[in-house]
Structure 1
């Protein structure tokens, strides 16, 4: 996973997977797949919901070892399977709102995953960058292992 800052208000995450675009799209947008790989360190994913259509909602609920729950929610703004999707993302513990844009490009029998997170300010982007870089590296390494289990 490569995490960069292409502009003052954006983080770009890039990863190449040895799987088809269709497989990756399903793995990152279908709850039954996401539950298998999206587990941040020391947390459990207790709820995962997707209504993959423009205006549809997404919702993740994570539980920490101390029992405290964290909710991430969003609304889909664009959906073009299996090429791209975009949604707003908000957290129950923060006023931060982020536009998340994901694209999948096929190249040499692999898929290049690109996810751009757009913030309201450079300060928001800079404050979020270390956590995003770390958690995304962990998450997409787990996704890569999950895809290998699927035989992709």
Structure 2
């Protein structure tokens, strides 16, 4: 496979994440939007998605409750702004533990497929540079990277002989 995660800053407010997967984009899109698939891959290795609710429609909400191996919990939630299956998904999202008014982010996921390989690009725009930088310093890159490793396994299409 050999597809690694790229995480970069864009301007003062954005994080851009890119990774390729050996799978059709419709399958990668499903992995982002079907609770039974999200539970299989979302988050770092030491976290488990224990609740996953997805109302996949513009204005619909999603909510993931995650549990760390030490028992700690985190809840992420969002509201879909745009859905264009299988190439684009936009949502406003936040961590429920974040008290800051500028803690909400706009996440835009795009999927492009070429020759059976899907390149995922997610641009997350935060309310302030402070929040964006705090997210980067939180270990987010490791967590997303580990989650995307699990996603690659979940969507892998066996090679034809």
Secondary structure of the corresponding residue to residue 104 of structure 2:
strand
Q: How far apart, in 1, do the equivalents of 2:97 and 2:146 lie? A: 21
Is structure 2 residue 78 aligned with structure 1 residue 77?
no
Structure 1: 5+ residue stretches without partners: none
Q: Give distance in 2, aligned partners of 1:92 and 1:19.
A: 32
Of 48, 71, 79, which aligns to 1:67?
71
Corresponding residue number in structure 2 for 1:99: 106
Q: Supply the distance in 2 between the matched residues of 1:24 and 1:102 (Cα, whole angstroms).
A: 11
C-alpha distance in structure 1 between counterparts of 2:117 and 2:48, whole Å = 30
Superposition TM-score, scaled by structure 2 size: 0.87
CA RMSD after TM alignment: 1.5
Q: Alpha-carbon deviation of 1:39?
A: 4.1
Deviation at 1:106, TM superposition (A): 1.4
1:124 match: 131
Structure 2, gaps ≥5 residues long: none
CA-CA distance at 1:63 after TM superposition: 1.5
1:66, CA displacement in angstroms? 4.0
**Higher helix proportion, which one?**
1
